[in-house]
């Protein structure tokens, strides 16, 4: 049953993504690419790109997108409900506990120990997108024709710009610039 | 009547914020504060900091958790439902439209070129976020965290251990560590 699978997959994504937007990314990959094969690695990369370019949390964006692709608008609704259910219950419980006891330090201790795993997983998910972007065969090798020089230039330029004070808060501008630069390059070289 | 008016205001506030907030959960937290603390004066500044902590301590999207915390504080359960509906409606509508568009235009060469270029950009954005998070983590001077990070990375990237198991293991270690510290340190935890 596709609805049941969508619900459970996105329930897990919502329940386990501690630490904000990017924390959901490795979990979305684990469920939609590795476990169920709903998305190809390229489809996953497109999804991350689209999610980054549009407003709203990546997990809700992913649920709506994948749900729609697999089972139309009702699939999107089921997946979205799945992804927000545990977070809503958890935040409500915390808000209630906080109103009674005014103490959150226990949870913050747990989060501190979770953080390295979250950062490591985001890094791994980033490499899983980066390597097929820079190397046409998807394998790190400098054989003729394998490295994509243009992608490497775009990536390096975007990374340097992301580290500047002025543009670091404008990732959409940087990404749009990369898209337009690639389009211009393809038109000129044709 | 007054109650219904407040709920509509909550709904339209989170709807508006969610529709125009690019750039992730931390941005929307700032905007929630501007709206409900500075603009409407419904929540005082200090309490807002605690609501933000609640949003950040819960799993899932920070924008959704922030809506839960603010909605609960302002109007209880009806407040939660209205605030969350407002927060998820814009991305739901936008991504549904894009999903239709994506299927129809995926093979268009202009769209392909744009996506291809943006892919290089998104890699840079993600790795830059990883840098910021790593530097932020190192500031805690908690040296157990670095080997944990390397182990988690190797397990996922080289040994293909699923992200689900890695998060569950780290959460379990976090609970154990916090409980042990609380026992040993008493009030200092």
Residues B143 and A174 sit within 8 Å (Cβ to Cβ) = no
Mean pLDDT score across all residues of chain B: 87
Asked if the Cβ–Cβ distance from B51 to A154 is below 8 Å, we say: no
Task: Evaluate whether residue A94 is within a structural domain.
Answer: yes
Chain A residue numbers with beta carbons less than 8 Å from the beta carbon of B145 are 112-113, 115-116
Q: Which pLDDT tens digits describe chain A residue by residue (190 residues)?
A: 899 999 999 999 999 998 777 889 999 999 999 999 999 998 999 999 998 888 888 999 999 999 999 999 999 999 999 999 999 999 999 888 887 776 667 777 788 888 899 899 999 989 998 999 999 888 888 988 899 999 999 999 999 999 998 888 788 889 899 999 999 999 998 7
Task: Evaluate whether residue A143 is within a structural domain.
Answer: no
- From the list A117, A127, A154, the residue facing B166 with the nearest CB is A117
Selected for mutation to probe chain A from B118, B129, B133, B136 (highest A CB count within 10 Å) is B118
Task: Evaluate whether residue A56 is within a structural domain.
Answer: yes
Question: Which residues of chain B are modeled with pLDDT < 70?
Answer: 1-2, 22-27, 186-189
Instruction: Tell me whether B103 touches chain A (CB under 8 Å).
Output: yes
CB-neighbour burial class of residue B40 (10 A; exposed 0-12, middle 13-18, buried 19+): middle
Task: Evaluate whether residue A63 is within a structural domain.
Answer: yes
Helices and strands in chain B, H and E counts: 7, 0
How far apart are alpha carbons B42 and B70 in whole angstroms?
Answer: 10
Selected for mutation to probe chain A from B26, B77, B95 (highest A CB count within 10 Å) is B95
Task: Evaluate whether residue A103 is within a structural domain.
Answer: yes
Where would I find the H helices in B106-144?
109-138
Q: DSSP assignment, residue B158?
A: T
Distance (Å) of CA A9 to CA A3, A125, B85: 10, 18, 21
Asked if the Cβ–Cβ distance from A110 to B174 is below 8 Å, we say: yes
Closest CA to A57 of B28, B154, B136, B33: B28
Selected for mutation to probe chain B from A91, A186, A188 (highest B CB count within 10 Å) is A91
Q: DSSP assignment, residue A144?
A: T
Query: Residue A62 sits in which domain range?
Result: 2-113
Asked if the Cβ–Cβ distance from B57 to A22 is below 8 Å, we say: no
Chain A residue numbers with beta carbons less than 8 Å from the beta carbon of B18 are 55-56
Q: Determine the pLDDT at residue B105.
A: 81
Domain count across chain A: 1
Would you kindly state where each structural domain of chain B is located, as residue ranges? 1-106, 109-138, 142-189
Per-residue pLDDT reduced to its tens digit, B18-67: 887 766 666 677 788 888 888 889 998 878 888 888 888 889 998 899 99
User: How far is C-alpha B69 from the geometric centre of its chain's CA atoms?
Assistant: 13
**Residue A147 bridge partners (DSSP):** A135
Q: Determine the pLDDT at residue B23.
A: 60
Q: Determine the pLDDT at residue B147.
A: 92
Instruction: Tell me whether B49 touches chain A (CB under 8 Å).
Output: no
Task: Evaluate whether residue A138 is within a structural domain.
Answer: no
């Amino acid at each position: 049953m596709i609805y049941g699978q969508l619900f459970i997959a996105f329930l897990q994504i919502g329940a386990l993504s501690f630490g904000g937007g990017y924390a959901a990314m490795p979990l979305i990959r684990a469920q939609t690419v590795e476990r169920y094969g709903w998305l190809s690695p390229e489809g996953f990369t497109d999804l991350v790109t689209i999610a980054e370019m549009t407003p709203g949390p990546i997990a809700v964006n992913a649920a709506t997108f994948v749900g729609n692709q697999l089972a139309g608008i009702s699939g999107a609704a089921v997946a979205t409900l799945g992804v927000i259910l545990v977070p809503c219950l958890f935040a409500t419980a915390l808000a209630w506990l906080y109103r009674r006891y005014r103490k959150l330090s226990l949870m913050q201790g747990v989060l501190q120990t979770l953080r390295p795993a979250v950062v490591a997983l985001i890094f791994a998910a980033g490499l899983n997108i980066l390597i097929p972007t820079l190397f046409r065969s998807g394998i790190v090798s400098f054989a003729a024709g394998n490295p994509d020089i243009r992608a490497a230039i775009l990536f390096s330029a975007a990374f340097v710009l992301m580290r500047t004070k002025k543009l670091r808060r404008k990732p959409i501008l940087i990404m749009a610039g990369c898209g337009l630069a690639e389009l211009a390059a393809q038109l000129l070289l044709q | 009547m007054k109650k219904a008016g407040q709920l509509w205001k909550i709904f339209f506030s989170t709807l508006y914020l969610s529709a125009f907030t690019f750039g992730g959960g931390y941005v929307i937290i700032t905007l929630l504060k501007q709206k409900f603390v500075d603009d409407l004066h419904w929540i005082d500044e200090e309490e807002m900091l605690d609501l933000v902590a609640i949003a950040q301590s819960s799993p899932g999207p920070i924008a959704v958790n922030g809506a839960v915390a603010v909605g609960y504080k302002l109007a209880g359960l009806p407040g939660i439902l209205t605030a969350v509906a407002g927060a998820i409606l814009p991305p739901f509508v936008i991504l549904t439209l894009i999903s239709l568009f994506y299927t129809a235009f995926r093979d268009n060469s202009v769209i392909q070129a744009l996506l291809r270029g943006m892919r290089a950009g998104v890699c840079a954005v993600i790795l830059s976020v990883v840098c910021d998070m790593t530097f932020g983590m190192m500031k805690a001077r908690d040296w157990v965290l670095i080997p944990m990070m390397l182990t988690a990375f190797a397990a996922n990237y080289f040994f293909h251990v699923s992200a689900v198991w890695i998060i569950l293991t780290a959460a379990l270690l976090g609970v154990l560590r916090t409980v042990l510290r609380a026992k040993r340190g008493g009030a200092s935890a």
